[in-house]
Structure 1
Amino acid sequence: MSRQSYEFTSESVSEGHPDKVADRISDEIVDLYFREAAEQGMDPWQIRVAAETLTTTNKVVIAGETRGPSSITPDRIEQLARDAIRDIGYEQDGFHWQTADIDVLLHPQSVDIAQGVDTGAGLHKAEGAGDQGIMFGYASLDVPGALMPAPVHYSHKILERLARARKQEGQDWLGPDSKSQVTVRYHNGRPVGASAIVLSTQHLDPDLTSSDIRSRVQPYIEEVLPTGWIDERTIWHINPTGKFVIGGPDGDAGLTGRKIIVDTYGGMAPHGGGAFSGKDPTKVDRSAAYATRYLAKNLVAAGVAPWVEIQVSYAIGVAAPTSIYVNVDDNNPIKGDRIEAIIPHLMDLTPRGIRSHLDLNKPIYAPTSAYGHFGREPGPDGAFSWEKVDLIDAIKARL
Structure 2
Amino acid sequence: MADLVTDFDQDAGPSPAQPVSGRGTRVLIYSHDTFGLGHLRRSRAIANAIVQDRPDTSVVIISGSPVIGNFEFDSGVDYIRIPGVTKLPDGDYRSLNLNVELDEAVGLRQALILQAAKAFKPDVFIVDKEPTGFRGEVVPALDYLKAAGCRLVLGIRDVMDEPALLVPEWERKGAKEALIHYYDEIWVYGLKDVYQPLKALDLPPHVEERITYTGYLRRDVPPTPSLTKYPKITKQPFILVTTGGGGDGDDLIDWVISAYEADAELEQPALILFGPFIDRDKRRSFVERITKQPKLDVMSFDNKIEWLMKKADAIVAMGGYNTFCEALSFDKRTLIVPRTRPRLEQYIRAVEGERLGLVSMLSDYKKPRTPERMAAALRSLSSQPRPSEVIVPGLLDGLDRVQERLKALTTSTARFATVYHQAAE
- TM-score normalized with structure 2 length: 0.24
Greater percentage in strand? 1
Greater percentage in helix? 2
Greater RCO structure (CA 8 Å; 6+ sep): 1
